[in-house]
């Protein structure tokens, strides 16, 4: 082969490699570690490591037996939230400790995936590196193939279903301060099984994000965290860090992402029909919307 052809081949290879690097496939979650221990031990270790890594723990809760979820934030997360429209959704990251058989899995949300799903200004790659340094990283998971940043920024599950830009308007108040105070008070009271897990205020912006636990039974079971996860979180590596759900106060309005987007972004490979499918939780999106609306309305 001539030198000219070798140079051409080398250039084509570099272009291809650059394209592949630019089209990194993102997945919803990161498995930090798995092994022996207890949920309590691993949660304590994770909190200590996160704090040493510069994160602030703003909440934690156990949605059901064998699972604990830790919610964290830091200055970079809050600044990126302030710089992004409805960025409050991305002001936190969730860390899950889950018992699976005799094994404890430690996992967390993928900041880069979330940043693109929420159409944020920055991609939070530094936060991803900091979480990996604090907790470890074995593999990304939550989708067999993953999706590019461009695909994530335009994501919706299928035709006719909601995008990130199609949230539910839950309530309107006279001012931002009135809205935040009312929502905090109502969620703290735990009306209708919707209870406050955390609150993060976005600096320099009239925006606050709340995490909520959803508890329901009987006719209200379709909004219940455990009911939903029993139906859809069936893979060997658990996606527990999907929880908790968010309520966003932006200005004087209270929003939540509609569940056909919020669930699908963390479970993008779920089939529409069949065993462990969206069909099994068909009533959940509207049940969640109604529960949240009833919890925060004036």
- Give the model confidence (pLDDT) of 174-188 as tens digits: 999 999 999 999 999
**Within a 13 Å sphere around the CA of 193, how many CA atoms are in the beta-carbon half?**
19
pLDDT tens digits, residue range 225-250?
999 999 999 999 999 999 999 999 99
CA distance 238 to 232: 10
Q: What is the pLDDT of residue 117?
A: 98
Average the pLDDT over 11-21 and give the result: 41
Q: What total of structural domains would you count in the chain?
A: 1
pLDDT-based confidence at residue 53 (cuts at 50, 70, 90): very high
Q: Report if residue 122 sits inside a domain.
A: yes
Instruction: Domain of residue 118: give its range.
Output: 26-296
Torsion sign across C-alpha atoms 269, 273, 275, 278: positive
CA distance 227 to 102: 23
CA distance 124 to 167: 23
pLDDT-based confidence at residue 270 (cuts at 50, 70, 90): very high
3-class SS of residue 123: coil
Q: Give the lowest-confidence range in 23-27, 71-75, 92-96, 194-198.
A: 23-27
Q: Report if residue 10 sits inside a domain.
A: no
Query: Quick one: angle between helices 125-135 and 75-83, nearest 10?
Result: 160
Average the pLDDT over 23-49 and give the result: 97
**Does residue 20 have a pLDDT over 70?**
no
Q: What is the DSSP string of 44-100?
A: HHHHHHHHHTT-EEEEEE-SSTTEEEEEEE-HHHHHHHHHSTTGGGGS-EEEEEEEE
269 closest CA partner among 261, 257, 277, 281: 277
What is the rounded average pLDDT for all residues in the chain?
Answer: 93
Match 């996860």 to its residue by tokens: 229
pLDDT-based confidence at residue 55 (cuts at 50, 70, 90): very high
Q: What is the pLDDT of residue 23?
A: 79
Q: Report if residue 218 sits inside a domain.
A: yes
Q: Which residues contact 113 (CB under 8 A, 6 or more apart)?
A: 26, 27, 28, 152
Q: Report if residue 243 sits inside a domain.
A: yes
Query: What's the token pair of residue 73?
Result: 């934030």
Q: What is the pLDDT of residue 219?
A: 87
**Does residue 273 have a pLDDT over 60?**
yes
Q: What is the pLDDT of residue 3?
A: 46
**Does residue 17 have a pLDDT over 80?**
no
pLDDT-based confidence at residue 5 (cuts at 50, 70, 90): very low
**Does residue 8 have a pLDDT over 80?**
no
Q: What is the pLDDT of residue 186?
A: 98
Q: Report if residue 19 sits inside a domain.
A: no
Q: Is the pTM of this model over 0.85?
A: yes
pLDDT tens digits, residue range 62-91?
999 999 999 999 999 999 999 999 999 999
**Does residue 22 have a pLDDT over 70?**
no
Which residue intervals of the chain are DSSP H helices?
A: 3-22, 39-52, 75-83, 111-117, 125-135, 149-153, 176-189, 225-232, 259-266, 284-296
Q: Report if residue 258 sits inside a domain.
A: yes
pLDDT top residue among 24 and 12: 24
**Does residue 46 have a pLDDT over 70?**
yes
Average the pLDDT over 126-133 and give the result: 98
pLDDT tens digits, residue range 135-171?
999 999 999 999 999 999 999 999 999 999 999 999 9
> Residue 129 sits in a domain of what CATH number?
3.30.310.70
10 Å Cβ neighbour count for 57? Answer: 16
Q: In what order do the strands lie in the sheet with 194-201?
A: 168-172, 253-256, 245-250, 207-214, 194-201
Q: Report if residue 6 sits inside a domain.
A: no
Q: What is the pLDDT of residue 6?
A: 40
Q: Which residues contact 204 (CB under 8 A, 6 or more apart)?
A: 82
Report in angstroms the alpha-carbon separations of 53 from 42, 112, 129, 203. 16, 18, 11, 21
Query: Is the separation of the CB atoms in 139 and 262 below 8 Å?
Result: no
Match 């949230």 to its residue by tokens: 167
Beta bridge partners of 107: 31, 96
Q: Report if residue 146 sits inside a domain.
A: yes
């Amino acid at each position: 082969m001539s030198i000219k052809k070798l140079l051409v081949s080398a250039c084509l290879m570099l272009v291809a490699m650059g394209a592949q690097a630019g089209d990194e496939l993102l997945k919803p979650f990161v498995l930090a570690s798995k092994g022996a221990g207890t949920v309590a031990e691993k949660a304590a270790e994770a909190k200590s490591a996160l704090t040493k890594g510069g994160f602030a723990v703003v909440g934690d809760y156990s949605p059901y037996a064998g699972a604990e979820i830790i919610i964290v934030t830091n200055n970079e997360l809050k600044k990126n939230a302030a710089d992004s429209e409805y960025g409050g959704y991305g002001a936190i990251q969730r860390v899950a400790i889950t018992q699976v058989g005799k094994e404890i899995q430690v996992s967390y949300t993928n900041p880069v995936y979330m940043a693109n799903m929420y159409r944020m200004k920055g991609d939070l790659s530094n936060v991803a590196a900091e979480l990996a340094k604090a907790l470890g990283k074995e593999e990304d998971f939550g989708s067999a193939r993953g999706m590019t940043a461009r695909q994530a920024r335009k994501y919706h599950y299928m035709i006719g279903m909601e995008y990130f830009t199609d949230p539910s308007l839950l309530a309107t108040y006279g001012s931002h301060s009135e809205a935040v105070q009312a929502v905090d008070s109502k969620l703290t009271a735990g009306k209708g099984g919707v209870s406050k897990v955390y609150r993060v205020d976005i600096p320099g912006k009239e925006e606050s994000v709340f995490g909520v636990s959803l508890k329901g039974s009987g006719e209200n079971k379709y909004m219940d965290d455990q009911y939903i996860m029993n139906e859809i979180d069936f893979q060997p590596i658990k996606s527990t860090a999907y929880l908790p759900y968010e309520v966003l106060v932006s200005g004087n309005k209270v929003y939540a992402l509609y569940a056909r987007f919020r669930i699908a972004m963390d479970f993008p490979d779920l089939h529409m029909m069949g065993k462990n499918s969206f069909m099994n939780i068909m009533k959940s999106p509207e049940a969640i919307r109604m529960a949240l609306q009833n919890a925060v309305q004036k």
